[in-house]
Amino acid sequence: MPYRHQNSPDDAVITKSGPLPITIGSLPLPIKGFITNLKTFEQLAIQEIISGSHHDAYPAGLMNPLIQDE
């Protein structure tokens, strides 16, 4: 039986195996696109860090929504 503390948020339950998320269904397409874009930025930034090449940083910068100018 999952344990729920009386003050716990409604976004997870705790079981013997650990926390389990409560699903809410599909994300709206614009939100899903935004999350996908940010994840791609993170992957490109990690690639740049691992390679040590500033050449690899350019695509990551283009993907970052906070960087608005080349």
User: pTM of the predicted model, to two decimals?
Assistant: 0.56
State the DSSP string of 6-64.
Answer: TT--TTEEEETTEEEEPP--PPPHHHHHHHHHHHHHHHHHHHHHHH--GGGHHHHHHH-
User: Do 4 and 13 touch, CB atoms closer than 8 A?
Assistant: yes
Q: Is residue 34 part of a domain?
A: yes
Domain count, the chain: 1
The residue ranges of the chain whose pLDDT is under 70 are 1-12, 68-70
Q: Which residue, 12, 13, 10, is CA-closest to 2? A: 13
pLDDT at 30: 92
Q: Is residue 31 part of a domain?
A: yes
Q: Is residue 4 part of a domain?
A: no
Q: Is residue 37 part of a domain?
A: yes
Q: Is residue 65 part of a domain?
A: yes
pLDDT at 63: 76
pLDDT at 59: 80
Q: Is residue 41 part of a domain?
A: yes
Q: Is residue 36 part of a domain?
A: yes
Instruction: Show the domain range for 45.
Output: 25-70
Q: Is residue 66 part of a domain?
A: yes
Tokens of 66: 């906070």
